[in-house]
Amino acid sequence: MIDAYFYGTSTRNSPEAPVPIINLVKKERRLGGAANVALNIKALGATPILCSIVGKDRNGTQLKSLLEKEALSTQGIVEDESRCTTVKTRVIGNNHHYLRIDEEETDLIPTDVENQLFATISSLVQTADVLIFQDYNKGVLSPNLIKSVTQLCNDSNVPIVVDPKHDQFFDYQNCTLFKPNRKEIIEAYQLKEEEDHDIQSLAQRLRKDLNAKNVMTTLSEEGVLIINDQEHHHLPAHPRNILDVSGAGDSVLSVAALCVALELPDPTIAGLANLAGGLVCEKIGVVPVDKAQLLDEAMKLEKV
């Protein structure tokens, strides 16, 4: 998807309605959604290949242009003439977020487009060290496509890392690492968020229900919990000057996926991912994790 921004200033309200008038100063368009995960992976030194859908429209053309500008491959991008390219437009005035406008279609993609996307993934997966499902509930990841791609990866010994959304939450069977947050686990089991819950027990239940190798649950200011069939590790969050949490989940996912590809132990996966999320929160806006800073901070912690 494209993340679009209208920046401006506001000094008065509209006479037409009780809303501010924004005097436009600057427009900006950036890669968003799964493409931000790709930017993180690239920043960490690996080579991402995006496989997804765009509309056959002007925004789709621009999205592919933005990918090419960032030296990201477009060979896995499939055009769907029946839908528009997702664009999220934010109106920001006086450093205040006033409004977001979403251009999107969230119905499941047609069967012929799904087949085309699966064929594209099939042609590329043999070169992959890890596959990431980054789910945004936009209609691309149907239960059938998830099952087919998972079987393909399992047959090819390609590990699978999942960042889920609620609609297909329990469709990600037989994955390597499943990365929900606390709220997503609680909602998945239809529990009340305001009540006290044993997240470790819920994560273990989820791991069994998904037949997943690992479940890594992000817990905001309480850090991260990673669990497998034999052990669990709870790593606390590091003290940070939190400025903006936008994009932190993408950085956590990217670092975790690369650690899985390298077959690193669970505490290292959770520790580095947790560290990356905290570092990104110290910066304004959606920015990729800084590889040099991540390594430096990890080395400091190693010496403590």
Please confirm, yes or no, whether 167 is among the known catalytic residues.
no
Q: State the Cα–Cα distance between residues 40 and 17, nearest whole angstrom.
A: 41
Helix axes 248-261, 34-43, angle to 10 degrees: 60
Q: Calculate what percentage of the chain has a pLDDT beyond 90.
A: 78
| The pair of three-digit structure tokens given for residue 158, joined into one six-digit string | 């390609």
220-238 mean pLDDT:
88
Q: Is 147 exposed, middle or buried (0-12, 13-18, 19+ CB in 10 A)?
A: middle
184 against 243, higher pLDDT: 184
Flag the least confident range among 42-46, 94-98, 136-140.
Answer: 94-98
pLDDT at position 299 is: 79
56-77 mean pLDDT:
96
- Of 242, 303, 304, 231, the residue nearest 269 (C-alpha): 231
Decide: 51 and 76 in contact? Cβ < 8 Å. Answer: yes
Domains and CATH numbers, the chain: 1-31+50-127 (no CATH), 129-304 (3.40.1190.20)
Which member of 3, 171, 250, 266 is catalytic? 250
pLDDT at 282 exceeding the cut of 90: no
pLDDT at 173 exceeding the cut of 50: yes
Write the Ramachandran bin of 298: left for phi over 0, alpha for psi from -120 to 50, otherwise beta: alpha
Q: List b or e across 45-64, with b for residues whose CB sees 16 or more CB atoms inside 10 angstroms.
A: ebebbbbbbbbebebbebbb
Q: What is the pTM of this model?
A: 0.90
Tens of pLDDT, residue by residue over 20-37, are: 999 999 999 999 999 999
Q: What contacts 298, CB < 8 A, 6 or more positions away?
A: 271, 272, 275
156-183 mean pLDDT:
96
pLDDT at 244 exceeding the cut of 70: no
Q: State the Cα–Cα distance between residues 127 and 125, nearest whole angstrom.
A: 5
pLDDT at 188 exceeding the cut of 70: yes
pLDDT at 281 exceeding the cut of 80: no
The helix (H) or strand (E) run that includes residue 131 is strand 131-134
131-157 mean pLDDT:
96
